[in-house]
Amino acid sequence: MISHNQQLFERAQKHIPGGVNSPVRAFKSVGGTPRFFVAGSGAHVTDADGKSYVDYVGSWGPLILGHAHPGVLAAVQEATRKGLSFGAPTESEVDMAELLCESLPSLEMVRLVSSGTEATMSAIRLARGHTGRDLLIKFEGCYHGHSDSLLVKAGSGMLTLGNPSSAGVPADLARHTLVLDYNDTAGLEAAFAEHGAQIAALIVEPVAGNMNLVMPRPEFLQAMRRLCSEHGAVLIFDEVMTGFRVGAGCAQGLYGITPDLTTLGKVIGGGLPVGAFGGRREIMAQVAPLGPVYQAGTLSGNPVAVAAGLATLKCVRAAGFYEQLTQRTRQLTDGLRAAAARNGVPFSAQAVGGMFGLYFRPECPQTYAEVMSCDQQAFNRFFHGMLDAGHYFAPAAFEAGFVSAAHAEADIAATVAAAEAVFKAW
């Protein structure tokens, strides 16, 4: 009999491009039928056929407390009783701004938006307005949302200006983006030596999470800060994914780097759409209505979404929260590494905070090229074996995974045992 998931996917494809509202959900890179989820509780989700999975996607990062956390649900229910949206200021927006600025010393002022894409797009516009320059530096393999300036891939040479990586992005716009190699300090220094006077901003995922998980070399982040300061460029840390995922002070606290602007999302919305950008007061003062850089949003600072985010952030600030989350995540990566080794499968894994990366290669990658050398077919085989066994990983070889505070030792142990069986079958 055809599954309910398959029936829903066939219906969806008639009226939704590709049958999904975000591309990676389509299972295109791994093959098969996407799962349509109907419920989630703690570390578990249930699909349309009634099958339960241990979830390592967590809505792509926001659900650091797990699905349907009672405290978050209570905050949302209380907020909805007062109204869904006002299009006017609310006290909860002020509470969120104060909490974010208290948590991150680099934030002196912050503006709430509704998505990570809005946050990065606005931060780049602000950097250009503040400096009066046009050129943007980004890194191959880092994803900062789907605004035009950021849908750019590298050219043939290290210092080649970018080319559009999506139809509909003007080549004239892409030429204002310089694409470099992640973790290549020498390439970064060469780019500033040649283009320093034209560079408005450098944007980076301080821990890359969109080409799988790639850890930064400390000297790479340090060089960014030094070069941006020397040349008057704005350093933007895109912490939409890493923000409050890798630690209480985000990646900037973990590595001791102070960016000029920071973008946030995911965890600060607790599962509902919230984003933010903020930083130095002198830069943020350029944002309308104070300054000439325009940014607006009808649902920015939506009270229901902000309530979910505030409830989440208050929970993660509890003593020992990140120590336990880190320990649980490393339990997963250590267990999977050991299971692969026992069965002779070339495999590596690493974790930071509640994020992890799995790679079908002997050593963890440090560059985009090394990520691309991973055995994608091996990942696809692993993915489907684990899916069949009731463990849901990201349906793509080049995405980071996430563990929540709701994952118990028993959940992790069950996942490692399932992986052992999958590897043994190879």
Active site residues: 143, 238, 266
**Residue 109 backbone phi and psi in degrees, to 5:** -140, 155
Q: Tally the residues of the chain.
A: 426
Q: Which of 37, 6, 55 has the alpha carbon at shortest distance from 415?
A: 55
Distance separating alpha carbons of residues 397 and 415, to the nearest angstrom: 18
Q: Rounded CA gap, 420 and 239, in Å?
A: 34
Taking residue 25's Cβ as centre, other Cβ atoms within 10 Å add up to 17
268 contacts 313 by C-beta, under 8 angstroms = yes
CA distance 63 to 333: 19
257 within 8 A of 237, measured Cβ to Cβ: yes
